[in-house]
Structure 1
Amino acid sequence: MINRTLSEIVHCTNCGAIPLTSAEGKSQLNCKKCGANYEVKNGVLVMLPNHAAKEMADSEIHSKQSSVFNYIDHYQKDGIEHDYFQERDPGTEHIERRVREQIFSQFTNTTGKVLDVGCGRAWVAQHLCPKNYEVISMDISLKNTTEALKLYPFKNHSAIVADVFSLPFNENSFDYIIASEIIEHVVDPKIFVENLMRALKPGGTLIVTTPYKEKIRYSLCVHCNKLTPLHAHIHSFDEKILSTMYAGEDLQSCNYITFANKIPIHLRMHLFFRFFGFRCWKIADRFFNLIHNSPMRILVKWQKK
């Protein structure tokens, strides 16, 4: 079955044509201009580009090693090999909880259309769908998006397999776009942000979170005997770098927050802080950053005119 919410806001990733039409008796969308077909699998619309993924080897590590990063193939396999829905260890779960709370504290509208980029375990849909937001979970992995719909089968929740670098959404489609812990993985962060900003409605908000001033560590790959970054993090960001990712004429504002001080993490104080509400935790976190300014996360919010 074709999800109406998706069919109204997507275009052909092959030629850019709109609208796409649904074929009678078939679970797919078709492009009349170029003939491209986009199937629905397990309730998930699959809109990866028909052409081969652009082999973008511009990241520092790939350039140094003269290697090619087929990121679509990589993250499809990653979704199969790594269980994003498994239970986290208490320390990781606590940080992820505070990241989620910081993101949702940026919401000012009580309703709207939300795109969750790199949805992973689909906590955006879990939290926002019961609050009457319309959420689209997007991931390169069919496994993650399928599981997202299975776990959170809300009427206002849909899912799509797509790539930000061939983004299938029309301009001015979303009130909010969330890309949490994703930008450190992508080959070209600037194009990543630019493409997402185009999909925002006027007055819409793009929220990005990522590790703050991360020191990227490497291990030696047993297959190719070359250095590979741990957790596939290929970029490190601070507020100065992130604030230059977008400077379009339609930019209203760009603000950031740094948070999650390292001291409580190293002292395993999450065992105590897990009982704190978000406001109390923020006060404690600011206190530790006054003692020693060492936040682990940064949230950047771009507002469109």
Structure 2
Amino acid sequence: MFDITKVLRPAPDARPAPGEVINLLADGGENYVAHYQRDAVEFDYFAAPADPATLHENERLHQEILRHVPSSTRVVLDVGCGSAWVARELLPTKEAVISFDIALRNTTEALRRYPAPNHYAVTGDAFDLPFQDGSIDAVISSEVMEHVPDVSAYLRSLVRVVKPGGTIVISTPYNETIQYSLCIHCNQPTPLHAHLHSFNEALMEELLAPLPVRYTLHTLSNKALLYLRTHRLLRHLPFGAWRAVDGLANRVVRKPARLVVVIKVET
């Protein structure tokens, strides 16, 4: 049976009780920590999108991410767990799923919604993941990278905790045009949705070049199909058929909305 105390750094004195969040977030810290604690209170990550087109896009993105997780994976770490969809999908087939988030509310709700003996929750900072080097089989980090202040530090942290030969799957908006509004409090330009960066193939290649990894890049969710509200028809297709239609649309109109980065840590 999986023992989370063997992979945590520092190791707790005792195994956590079922349903107990392991809170390893230091008091105080950077401004972004307070921001995302407040963000989890103001924004309900567990609420389903009101727009059915957005719901369909999210479901297809999740299917794309999961297909890159090797079937042999035993332990999955979900960095930035949000709604804990990774736990919902993988708890039945994996030895352990660790829902990790900077917001205590999200990890607490993750355990409440998906109670299972193989579900663990840890609150902490992705820049300093509280796990032993090379202790995790696979990491999923969906729609997180665009929010982090230091992308290189975030990537190094993910790579450090994954076993040699292990897998990291990251998703992020593709070639997003970052929009700003003027904050009424600080009178400074503030990015909408707290998206700090926009990613494409060239930038990912630059960011990943210094790391001991191999990687592939995958684009999906054609914007033309999204704008035309084709989810009414495409939601009935199995994933493979949907992926073929989406791929064809992106060859005709090169406007993917999502980028999925699949990283293999070198042995």
User: TM-score, normalised to structure 1's length?
Assistant: 0.82
Q: Which has the higher contact order (CA 8 A, sep 6+)?
A: 2
Deviation of residue 249 (structure 1)?
A: 6.2
2:14 is aligned with 1:46: no
2:232 is aligned with 1:271: yes
Check 1:109–1:194 CA distance in 2 against 1; reply closer, same or farther (3 A cut): same
Partner Cα distance (1:41, 1:173) in 2: 21
Check 1:279–1:133 CA distance in 2 against 1; reply closer, same or farther (3 A cut): farther
2:81 matched to which residue of 1? Answer: 119
2:62 is aligned with 1:100: yes
Partner Cα distance (2:53, 2:246) in 1: 15
Partner Cα distance (1:130, 1:78) in 2: 30
Deviation of residue 166 (structure 1)?
A: 2.1
Partner Cα distance (1:91, 1:133) in 2: 33
2:194 matched to which residue of 1? Answer: 232
Check 1:231–1:292 CA distance in 2 against 1; reply closer, same or farther (3 A cut): same
Give the letter for the 1:213 counterpart. Answer: N
Partner Cα distance (2:249, 2:212) in 1: 37
Deviation of residue 6 (structure 1)?
A: 2.5
**1:64-113 deviation per Cα after TM superposition (whole angstroms, max 9, x unaligned):** xxxxxx11000001111111111212111111111101111112233411
Partner Cα distance (1:287, 1:202) in 2: 35
Instruction: Give yes or no for contact 2:223–2:256 (8 Å, CA) kept in 1.
Output: yes
Deviation of residue 122 (structure 1)?
A: 0.3
Partner Cα distance (2:122, 2:211) in 1: 29
Deviation of residue 11 (structure 1)?
A: 1.4
2:169 is aligned with 1:207: yes
User: Relative to total residues, which structure has the larger helix share, 1 or 2?
Assistant: 2
1:81 matched to which residue of 2? Answer: 42
Q: Map 1:179-194 onto structure 2 (within 5 A).
A: 179-194=141-156
Deviation of residue 223 (structure 1)?
A: 2.1
Instruction: Give yes or no for contact 1:205–1:301 (8 Å, CA) kept in 2.
Output: yes
Deviation of residue 4 (structure 1)?
A: 6.9
2:136 is aligned with 1:174: yes
Check 1:243–1:100 CA distance in 2 against 1; reply closer, same or farther (3 A cut): same
Deviation of residue 152 (structure 1)?
A: 0.6
2:107 is aligned with 1:145: yes
User: TM-score, normalised to structure 2's length?
Assistant: 0.94
Partner Cα distance (1:48, 1:110) in 2: 31
Q: 2:252 aligns with which of 272, 288, 291?
A: 291
Q: Percent identity?
A: 41
Check 1:233–1:182 CA distance in 2 against 1; reply closer, same or farther (3 A cut): same
Partner Cα distance (1:209, 1:232) in 2: 16
Instruction: Give yes or no for contact 2:2–2:118 (8 Å, CA) kept in 1.
Output: no
Give the letter for the 2:21 counterpart. Answer: V
Deviation of residue 239 (structure 1)?
A: 1.0
Q: Secondary structure at the match of 1:21?
A: coil
CA RMSD, Structure 1 to Structure 2 (Å): 1.9
Instruction: Give yes or no for contact 1:48–1:166 (8 Å, CA) kept in 2.
Output: no
Instruction: Give yes or no for contact 2:19–2:115 (8 Å, CA) kept in 1.
Output: no
Instruction: Give yes or no for contact 1:174–1:199 (8 Å, CA) kept in 2.
Output: yes
Instruction: Give yes or no for contact 1:136–1:159 (8 Å, CA) kept in 2.
Output: yes
Deviation of residue 271 (structure 1)?
A: 1.6
Deviation of residue 277 (structure 1)?
A: 1.1
Partner Cα distance (1:98, 1:6) in 2: 31
Give the letter for the 1:80 counterpart. Answer: V
Q: For structure 1, list consecutive stretches of 5 or more residues without a partner in the other structure.
A: 13-18, 29-39, 56-69
Structure 1, 216-225 or 118-127: larger mean CA deviation: 216-225
Partner Cα distance (2:113, 2:73) in 1: 22
